[in-house]
Amino acid sequence: KAGVTQTPRYLIKTRGQQVTLSCSPISGHRSVSWYQQTPGQGLQFLFEYFSETQRNKGNFPGRFSGRQFSNSRSEMNVSTLELGDSALYLCASSFLPGDVSGSPLHFGNGTRLTVT
Amino acid sequence: AQTVTQSQPEMSVQEAETVTLSCTYDTSENNYYLFWYKQPPSRQMILVIRQEAYKQQNATENRFSVNFQKAAKSFSLKISDSQLGDTAMYFCAFTAYSGGGADGLTFGKGTHLIIQP
């Protein structure tokens, strides 16, 4: 069974631009969540989707948005990029939401975003 | 809000030794789940072990075991017979059972574990 696939692996953008990251979950998994990892703040929850609905969102500005498609694939978008958005963005999937079932998350390799 | 604290930023041990990574958490919830994840240089987060708060028995996965002390809100990870491949960042994580939407996993800052040959 293929793991969680994130594309692209690396991305360099300029301040003010927007970016879209993609995540394909493990087959059969319907819950997808996104995390931002930075040296200073560590791992922070962005949002979670289940069956195409956003269940919850972390403490991030509205420039960060996401969506989930009927095949469970998910995308996250960051508009008007700032230098501080440089980070590793991790996507994770599980069959059911973790807070409901305690299902462990299966992570992808992440997308390294650099904003210059 | 829940918090997870890992007080050891970095640890180094010799191969084959046993090492214990510390984790404490703060929550007012009674039902929750705790995890240890490993992140090697490849960046992929890998689940090491999982503990359900309502279970008193400590979880064990091969060389990995936890010491879960619910009253003390402590969740340490013990790695026995450490191997070079255990070198990685280790993150302790928490999620409360809510059934209606939680704030995802709350992670500690991590412990960089180095296994020396």
Which pLDDT score, from 0 to 100, does residue A73 have?
Answer: 97
Structure confidence at residue A87 (pLDDT): 98
Interface probe for B, chosen from A50, A95, A99, A100 (most Cβ of B below 10 Å), is: A99
DSSP class of A105 = P
Q: Which two tokens stand for residue B44?
A: 């992929």
For the record, the structure tokens of A75 come out as 């995308």
Give pLDDT, residue B98. Answer: 67
Mean pLDDT of the A79-92 span? 97
pLDDT in tens, A5-64: 999 999 999 999 999 999 999 999 999 999 999 999 999 999 999 999 998 889 999 999
Give yes or no for a contact between A6 and A23, defined as CB atoms under 8 angstroms apart.
yes
Q: What is the pLDDT along chain B (117 residues), one digit of tens a residue?
A: 789 999 999 999 999 999 999 999 998 888 888 999 999 988 889 999 999 988 889 999 999 999 999 999 999 999 999 999 999 999 999 988 765 556 688 999 999 999 999
- Inform me whether the C-beta atom of residue A48 falls under 8 Å from chain B C-beta atoms: yes
Kindly list the residues from chain A whose CB atom is less than 8 angstroms away from the CB atom of residue B99: 99-100
pLDDT of residue A99: 64
Which positions in chain B touch A98 (Cβ < 8 Å)? 33, 95, 102, 104-105
Convert B35-60 to b/e letters by CB count within 10 Å (16 or more is b).
Answer: bbbbbeeebbbeebbbbebeeeeebe
Residue B107 CB coordination number (10 Å): 21
